[in-house]
Amino acid sequence: MASAPSSEMILTGTEADAAGPTPAGDARRRAYIDAAQRLFFAHGYGATSMNAIAAAVGGSKTTLWSLFPSKLALFEAVVDQVVQLYGSALTVDLDSAPDVATGLIRMGDAIMETIFSDAVTGIHRLVMGEAARVPELGRVMFERGPGPGMARFAGWLARQMQAGTLKPGDPALAAQQFSGLCRAGVVDRHLHGLAGPNALAEGRAEVRAAAATFLAAWGR
């Protein structure tokens, strides 16, 4: 005899808007993602059940599970939405920069704008708080945000090295070093809830200092 389903499994019911990609279905999907983000940020990933997310939207658990086969899949959708809306570090125009310093500052400012957005701050704090219990969350966030962003930045640095405007070396290491310089000050304090009201302005000033330090090591 089959065992009884847990509170995280489909119970009963069907809804037409779960059957395919319709405008109503898309709106329902976004509603679940928005509700999951609010509840994850307010209560944590582990303490938020799929039942609670369905109840927050007012839909059935069947619809939620048909759209997202697991809570981790729903978290992935939350991260995808946050990256799409706030991930300027993934799209910043580096190739049109007139010189390396300008490109570095564009990248650093984009890092600041991204991290200081409420949604990205929330994702960082959520992942840090759950890392020991649910390490998959860190992988999801890294693969969708910092990973592609740093790979794209490293590609631009590699082209600068090939052009002779930066010293030759490992572009991935150089990207990590610049990102670390940008994140070591006010960003770290911000993620710990210790930054003041002028944190973003402080961050922009730190970006310019980071660019100068980076060019002292890598510039030609």
Beta strands in the chain (DSSP E): none
Residues 6+ apart with CB under 8 A from 115: 121, 124, 183, 187, 190, 191
Within the chain, which residue ranges are assigned CATH 1.10.357.10?
Answer: 83-218
User: Over the stretch 101-146, which tens digit does the pLDDT of each residue have?
Assistant: 999 999 999 999 999 999 999 999 999 999 999 999 999 999 999 9
Is the Cβ–Cβ distance between 146 and 183 less than 8 Å? no
Which pLDDT value is given to residue 14?
A: 39
Query: Confidence class of residue 3 from pLDDT cuts 50, 70 and 90?
Result: very low
**Residues of 71-82 as b/e, b for ≥16 C-beta within 10 angstroms?**
beebbbbbbebb
- Residue 134 half-sphere exposure toward CB, CA atoms < 13 A: 16
| Cα–Cα dist 192/169, whole Å | 33
State the CATH architecture for 83-218: Orthogonal Bundle (1.10)
| Cα–Cα dist 63/67, whole Å | 6
Instruction: Indicate if the pLDDT at residue 5 is higher than 80.
Output: no
| Cα–Cα dist 31/6, whole Å | 24
Which pLDDT value is given to residue 21?
A: 59
- At 188, which helix (H) or strand (E)? helix 186-191
> At which residue do the structure tokens 């730190």 appear?
206
Is the Cβ–Cβ distance between 149 and 90 less than 8 Å? yes
Within the chain, which residue ranges are assigned CATH 1.10.10?
Answer: 16-69
Tokens of 38: 């609010």
Long-range contacts of residues 145-148, Cβ cutoff 8 Å, at least 24 apart: 145/79, 145/83, 145/87, 145/89, 145/90, 145/120, 148/90
Instruction: Indicate if the pLDDT at residue 178 is higher than 80.
Output: yes
User: Over the stretch 8-67, which tens digit does the pLDDT of each residue have?
Assistant: 333 333 343 444 457 767 899 999 999 999 999 999 999 999 999 999 999 788 999 999
Beta strands in 72-129 (DSSP E): none
Domain 16-69 has CATH 1.10.10: yes
> At which residue do the structure tokens 């959520």 appear?
126
**Residues of 205-219 as b/e, b for ≥16 C-beta within 10 angstroms?**
ebbeebbeebbeebe
> At which residue do the structure tokens 């969350």 appear?
137
Percent of the chain with pLDDT strictly greater than 70: 90
